[in-house]
Structure 1
């Protein structure tokens, strides 16, 4: 009886229930989006395939929970090296690499396409968490110089994958890596004045990047389709026939849904890639502002629950793992929803857990598995303390 209670206490049912609700939203939205796809794709049951990937994700979560996350601390750099090899393979254009829309970001495998940068996101969370823990163990009362050393270590770990992502090029994924790094820096204990300086440098860097993006795209190896996305975002109606077409359709879809939506499968606006990057627009058209708000609320609950788990954890490494996952998911939700309503440029980042995609969904489930692993260890420590 006591052992059964211990096993049950290791599972965070609140987090799993929220994830279950998001999975239902995903299947419903993807199934309805099928009718807006080109005729050659309408025979594919993407919703069924998404649920199959959710099944794979459940297995990934189960396996992840079986492994003590302390072991990840020990092999962090091996995982990082493995991820770098996968990214380097894309740069070297080894057999099996796949280029889609000008970006060489995938490997073509028998079971489907695999995007190694998705897996590398998790490896980055693990390795930066280890860097912070090792540094804090060495410097118990860190000086300003010590904080700068930590910042340098984190920066050195970020630059290699960021360089290879820029070479693909994959601007959206590069932003995710920076968001992960930023979230971990925020909770690392580095002095606020250093963080303020980083923000200032980031603003200047972003300004310089935008100038280079617009006037010197060849220097950054910016593809024409990426420039088109940016122009289409700034003034979609001036480029309504090409660059701004997707954003205009997204705005029309969400706007036409009004407060309550048009109803399930009542879709009048043709929207390319509706089952992937623009799944939120489909939700807004069918279920209106209320339906879209419910979806956003589910993500708020998911993130809030993960924050609770991070705060309850007494192990620094576990807390940092949770913080990295929270930063990754929060940024991608914000970016995806923002681009569908015109607040942010279109980057091609999917809506976590909702957009159709095998490798991306498996990665998110792996991330949830890490958080659940941290939670289970926290529960184990608490239970042991009561004995």
Structure 2
């Protein structure tokens, strides 16, 4: 989802990106306006409204990111999507109160924006304006008609984001409050369950009322809640473990010059599933898996290992958190060389990860 986002600038040392599908919203606004016979001015005001709303979403995400920075948590980037924004924090603080503050600061930004907009509208039109005006009505005579619409939108953002379900801010607030008493893992489990129950309500209401967007939102939030719990379970599984706890000091290297037929004979004598490939000088040059050897051998057993091996050879420090090795291996890497000082002391693969985390 995040790979097709365009970089539009860097603010406060945080890259800001916008997903290409954002253009579909602009195209929809223009197309709908034309089909309804709207004037150019109304379409321009509508586009301004959309851009202004996403500016509010961006400020919301900066509320999270800049607060996280105060707790030494950096932000990878901020991505604007048609359904909202995402501040991708590199990690979350261990203390629940810090997560609570980070989560609440996004909606607080929208609250400040709403208060400012309310004050501006009162100064321009008086309090009675809110008794006589449809806030979502677009006045083609002035771009100022964007202001009441933005006021309502920011209030909606506050309410929507405080829904107690992941990935909404309300879900993180709920998790932080529960974690103060039950710990993060159990808190995430219960926050996830509560959020999923709410999502089921969204889905049922969407079906019965014909509001199909609610169904889509319900399924999205339901899946996100489950994903968040699984992610925390993984973090706890590898918590307090380093790569050195999972390193394999003995392993079976394969020579790149050998054929797949020869490789198959060699791997049949061991139980390893991932293999380091070396050249005739004994230098590491790639990796290959048992399944890859068996698959390619069926096509052409005379092929050499060098022709089918994975040349993406990566290393990791023995002192690195084991969770870092997990995420690298999840990207499709066969194994990692483990480095201590300037010396290779072994490898880490999926099997050694599993052995290191067996309770």
Task: Calculate the TM-score normalised by the size of structure 2.
Answer: 0.28
More helix as a share of residues? 1
Which structure carries more relative contact order (alpha carbon 8 Å, separation 6+)?
A: 1
| TM-score (norm: length of structure 1) | 0.27
Larger C-alpha radius of gyration, 1 or 2? 2
